[in-house]
With several copies, the nearest count.
Chain A
């Protein structure tokens, strides 16, 4: 089952997500192909992000991803957990 092949990725946390997860970054083994929703759900559970899960977006290798799409990951990819922006 190729769907179950796992790859190591880097996960970055910012702002409130950084505070909730208690860390700036982490390593994680995760399926190399999964839906956006599944990826988000995994990260929320793994890193205690329940409090903000409805107000997060994920970026993969510095590109915003959006719900309803499949995400393909390879070893070393950088996933960022991005709370609502508040720059300026």
Chain B
């Protein structure tokens, strides 16, 4: 089962972990991206995310398909939060269950790399004093 979600609501790691859990699987690997309180010397107040939603959902589905071509995984959840995300809270949760652990560990790593390079979502960092700044992922081909 592939679960994909773009949401303005706070992400629950437990809920997403339970969602991918499967009685036939011995392993769940997860990656949680959280908001850092600093960038270089600037103090980050929060992040603001926006997405090209229908295209982002398609791109997330493509990542699921690619993962399944590469590894034997059972359930996949790719959740990305949109709107304001305060410091320490999760902007992304990736969870994958697999019968054995190697598959889900590798699949999660692949998914986060693929998400950063291919899914049309953008993040603005809002600082305490400096001007807010749109970020760009080094994984994105047209970033530089």
Contact = CB atoms under 8 A, between A and B. Distances in A.
A34 interface: no
Given A14-B50, A14-B120, A85 B136 contact: yes
Nearest to B133: A16
Interface residues of A, number: 18
Interface residues of B, number: 33
B121 interface: yes
Interface stretch (A3-11, A41-49, A76-84): A76-84
A12 interface: yes
A85 B80 contact: no
A85 B112 CA distance: 13
Closest 9 CB pairs of A and B: A87-B121, A84-B136, A15-B122, A84-B143, A86-B135, A62-B55, A86-B123, A85-B140, A16-B134
Interface of B: 33, 49-52, 54-56, 58, 80, 91-92, 112, 115-124, 134-137, 139-144
